[in-house]
Amino acid sequence: MKITFLIHNVYGIGGTVRTTLNLAAALAGRHQVTIVSMLRHRARPRFAVDPRVTVVPLVDTREHGADAADPLLHQPAEVFPAAEKRYKQYSRLTDKRAEEYLRSSDADVLIGTRPGVNVYLARFGSPRALRIAQEHLTHDSHSKRLRAQLARHYRDLDAVVTTTEADAAVYRSRMPLPGVRTLAVPNCVPDPGLPPADGSAKVIAAAGRLVPAKRFDLLVEAFGEVAGKFPDWSLRIYGAGTDKDRLRRLIEEHGLEGRAALMGVVSPIEEVFARASIVASASDAESFGMTLVEAMRCGVPVVATDCPLGPAEIIDDGVDGRLVPMGDKHALAAELCQLIADESGRRRMGEAARAAAHRFDPARIAAVYEDLFAELTASRRTRARQRGKARWRARAGRVLRRLRG
């Protein structure tokens, strides 16, 4: 089977890039897998790409790249939805290249990995192929305008796949798509192949984009309470983003220099997680929570805010990690202190976390996708009838409304 993923930029860094590469590698053992990158801004991808996976860049945005002189590169996109957060990075050249590639593709399965790219998939992807939209963000993180645009296009697809069951339920209730399978499949996270953390390091680690929604400010404030009780413990935050300077000032204001540090971007992150004893997440929102699983794979317990939508579907509270109320720095500090004080309990929780993380094995997630491909293929005619009836009812409703008017 030929499987093609369409991604915003496989040359960049981010959770969607990591999980797409993980899933592509898992499927490449049994299928012919291609990753089509809408954009290319550097010579090589930052993350390792399985040699069995083919990477095809569509538009080279480098200053002296192959497309630098193309006038379409500097004209705004007309197909990529303007309400999409990445809209300014797209152009008429991206529209053109996506259409050309998709119309000529002989893939059996086409999988898009962000909303605007999924619109390309719906507009230009061959109906002979299975067309699947992955949602690595969440329904409610999209603007009302974007959701309306997606609803028009997603109805032409075969499936919409979210990373959590909670988000799938939101899609089913607020964006009903007759004939389209809407389901949750978690991201896959491979075993890092490292010895598990032994729980002896007096280090709390955290990782992610340094942006307001990740609430690293709350974590720093909570650590201020921890530091007063356990002066030999430190906090290390890995990542980059717009909040970097604000977080540095906050660390200074709380007198935590030398105790709390911004460590920059590290990849693979598992190497530093394995040298910590606790991983913390204070996010206000998570579409999944890759860092939580990555920490668990290293045998490190996680203390995370019980935010929408991912942590509660990853962490079994009190067994392989702890969940605390969102936005409550005192609760976060209390759970961190409890784990620090209970070394044997911390080790047991880390062992449980490592065992629980096996449900995110790439081979298991790849098998779920293979089952989905078979199901979608077998149900093509039934789903086409459902889609046709829904369209007929919609047209009839419009006619009735016009007559009444």
95 & 225 share domain: no
97 & 135 share domain: yes
Give me the pLDDT at residue 394, please: 72
43 & 131 share domain: yes
Radius of gyration (Cα) for the chain, nearest Å? 23
How far is residue 188's CA from residue 192's CA, in Å, rounded to a whole number? 12
pTM of the model: 0.90
281 & 322 share domain: yes
Q: What are phi and psi of 39, to 5 degrees?
A: -125, 160
Q: Is residue 404 part of a domain?
A: no
Give me the pLDDT at residue 218, please: 97
CATH number of the CATH domain containing 240:
3.40.50.2000
322 with 337: CB under 8 angstroms? Answer: no
Q: Is residue 194 part of a domain?
A: no
120 & 255 share domain: no
112 & 232 share domain: no
Question: Which residues, including other chains, have CB under 8 Å from residue 297's CB and lie 6 or more apart?
Answer: 189, 190, 191, 192, 270, 354, 357, 360
Q: Is residue 399 part of a domain?
A: no
334 & 375 share domain: no
Q: Which residues pair with 278 in a beta bridge?
A: 204
Q: How many CB atoms lie within 10 A of CB 153?
A: 17
Q: Is residue 198 part of a domain?
A: no
269 & 177 share domain: no
Q: Which structural domain range is residue 210 located in?
A: 203-360
46 & 169 share domain: yes
Burial class (CB in 10 A: 0-12, 13-18, 19+), 400: exposed
How far is residue 247's CA from residue 223's CA, in Å, rounded to a whole number? 13
Q: What are phi and psi of 161, to 5 degrees?
A: -115, 120
Give me the pLDDT at residue 267, please: 81
Q: Is residue 400 part of a domain?
A: no
Per-residue confidence of the chain (405 residues) as pLDDT tens digits? 999 999 999 999 888 999 999 999 999 999 999 999 999 999 999 889 999 999 999 999 999 888 999 999 999 999 999 999 999 999 999 999 999 999 999 999 999 999 999 999 999 999 999 999 999 999 999 999 999 999 999 999 999 999 999 999 999 999 999 999 999 999 999 999 999 999 899 999 999 999 999 999 999 999 999 999 999 999 999 999 999 999 999 999 999 999 999 999 888 899 999 999 999 999 998 888 899 999 999 999 999 999 988 899 999 999 999 999 999 999 999 999 999 999 999 999 999 999 999 999 999 999 999 999 999 999 999 998 988 888 877 777 777 777 787
36 & 128 share domain: yes
3-state SS, the chain, equals CEEEEEECCCCCCCHHHHHHHHHHHHHCCCCEEEEEEEEECCCCCCCCCCCCCEEEEEEECCCCCCCCCCHHHHCECCCCCCCCCCHHHCEHHHHHHHHHHHHHCCCCEEEECCHHHHHHHHHHCCCCCEEEEEECCCHHHCCHHHHHHHHHHHCCCCEEEECCHHHHHHHHHHCCCCCCEEEECCCCCCCCCCCCCCCCCCEEEEECCCCHHHCHHHHHHHHHHHHHHCCCCEEEEECCCCCHHHHHHHHHHCCCECCEEEEECCCCCHHHHCCCCEEEECCCCECCCHHHHHHHHCCCCEEEECCCECHHHHCCECCCEEEECCCCHHHHHHHHHHHHHCHHHHHHHHHHHHHHHHHHCHHHHHHHHHHHHHHHHHCHHHHHHHHHHHHHHHHHHHHHHHHHC
Give me the pLDDT at residue 308, please: 85
Q: Is residue 382 part of a domain?
A: yes
Question: Minimal CA–CA distance to 80: which of 53, 57, 98, 59?
Answer: 98
Q: Is residue 405 part of a domain?
A: no
147 & 284 share domain: no
Domain count, the chain: 2
Q: Is residue 12 part of a domain?
A: yes
39 & 86 share domain: yes
